Chains A and B, each alone.
Chain A
Amino acid sequence: MFLGLYNYWIVVLLMMIGFYIVIAHGNLVKKLVGLTIFQTSVFIFYITVGMVERGSAPIIAEGISDYSNPLPHVLILTAIVVGIATTALGLALVIRIKEAYGCVEEDEIQKQDQLSEDES
């Protein structure tokens, strides 16, 4: 009887994959990849919520009375483009970190920070 909820389970699965990558990997680029997967899971959540059975794409045409909900589509459409812009910003930060520290591993960066703090 809970089979009708499978879309949420897929979303949760994807979200947890992304979450796992974010917390289990030290590599900053991989963390960003994990965040991207997390983000897509949210997109899928919104779109599946907006879906209506036997509905059609929300473009008004004759002979169609059921449309899927256009509001989540609007939110996600903009979120996708904003998402790539912010991911690019994150990657830019990672590149700068690479130039400053010579690596993109979290623990290595922390070690170097600790060292410089101890020196000062």
Chain B
Amino acid sequence: MLTGIYGLLSACFFVVLDAVDVAFTEASVGAGISGLLMLAAITITGRKEAPKRHKPFLALFVVLVTGSMLIYGTLDMPYFGDPEAPVHQHVAPRYIHDSMEEVGVPNIVTSVLGSYRAFDTLGEVAVIFTAGIGVLSLLSLPRRRKKIKSEEATEEQMHERHMVVRIVSKALIPFILLFALYVQFHGDFGPGGGFQAGVIFAAAIILYTMLFGLDTAKKVFNPALIQLLAAVGLLLYACVGVVSMLNGANFLDYNVLADDPVSGQHIGILLIELGVGITVASVMLSIFFNFDGRRQAQAEIQAEKQQSEQEQKLKGEQDVSRTL
């Protein structure tokens, strides 16, 4: 809950600081997904912290010393909002003045992300993909046994109970998906792009999962297909680079993708943003599915334990009554 508020607050002041794209990402990631993952992890690991045994003064001292040294270091920094600051002197003017002619995309952030620094972005997508694989290898479970019917019934009852939430969200989900697509393909002109769209898309499906249960969601969105898509997105991105190499230009140089450099840039950015969107959405989804799967599996194990304990208790009581 608090992480959600923290994320939304960060998003608000990113807007104030003129970083609309960043605000968009922070709003969808910070307010949407990170809180959920935290909650899922906390339900699994337990919500109580052990009482502290050591005193925190040493830590406080280290923190204060480091903080004051950092603040001393800031005294030489350029003032907040100073247009003459060194950061604004090197590549930024080129991005701002020439990107419209060279790339032809009004949103400078998108043109820097997709074209000037495309190689960097490829690396970032690869990191996301790797993190997704890491979570999969840590948390994925072998195929689970079929549930007992009564359990399924109780779960359905639970979903029946939240009728208002369910119906409202059901109506919202298609619009969230549509909005994600809009963000994906309108990223050239306004704030948006593959990263944000992927997260929003994943959030819509996560909402569906929370309402109808993991098993229903897994039937609709096959986890194997999602894992495949995560790789497909990254491959699509890399392939765009290879195609431009085959056409005689540098890796990820889109000028050669069409007759006219600017339309080539358009095609390139569109394709790599699509790749980014697919990878981000499917990695986020498979992470969430695995977290939720773990949680359910653990809840089931606990329920079984309780059941067996109860049975043992009953047996013991029966034995006692028999001996009596």
| Shortest CB distance A16–B (Å) | 4
On chain B, the residues within 8 Å of A19 by CB distance are 63, 66
Q: Does B219 contact A (CB under 8 A)?
A: no
| Shortest CB distance A72–B (Å) | 7
Interface residues, chain A, CB within 8 Å of chain B?
2, 4-9, 12-13, 15-16, 19-20, 23-30, 33, 36, 40, 43-44, 47-53, 55-61, 66-74, 76-89, 91-96, 98, 103-105, 107-108
Closest-by-CB residue of B relative to A1 is B79
Closest-by-CB residue of B relative to A20 is B63
Q: A57-B20, A68-B17, A77-B109 are in contact. List 5 more A-B contacts (CB 8 A).
A: A49-B87, A72-B19, A78-B113, A81-B29, A82-B131
Most B C-beta atoms less than 10 A away, residue of A16, A66, A76, A84? A84
On chain B, the residues within 8 Å of A89 by CB distance are 131, 134-135, 138
On chain A, the residues within 8 Å of B30 by CB distance are 80
On chain A, the residues within 8 Å of B46 by CB distance are 98, 104
Contact of A40 among B10, B19, B50, B62 (CB under 8 A): B10
A77 with B74, Cβ < 8 A, contacts A48-B80, A53-B81, A82-B127 known? no
| Shortest CB distance B128–A (Å) | 5
Interface string of B45-58 (1 = CB under 8 A from A): 11001101100100
| Chain B residues touching A, majority SS | helix
Q: A85 contacts B26, CB within 8 Å?
A: no
Most A C-beta atoms less than 10 A away, residue of B53, B100, B128? B128
On chain B, the residues within 8 Å of A48 by CB distance are 17, 80
Q: A51 contacts B18, CB within 8 Å?
A: yes
Contact of A50 among B29, B42, B87, B121 (CB under 8 A): B87
On chain B, the residues within 8 Å of A70 by CB distance are 92, 95-96, 108-109, 112
Closest-by-CB residue of B relative to A81 is B195
| Shortest CB distance B285–A (Å) | 12
A87 with B96, Cβ < 8 A, contacts A50-B19, A51-B80 known? no
Q: How distant is the Cα of A89 from the Cα of B109 in the complex, in angstroms?
A: 28
Q: How distant is the Cα of A30 from the Cα of B50 in the complex, in angstroms?
A: 11
Most A C-beta atoms less than 10 A away, residue of B18, B26, B74, B280? B18
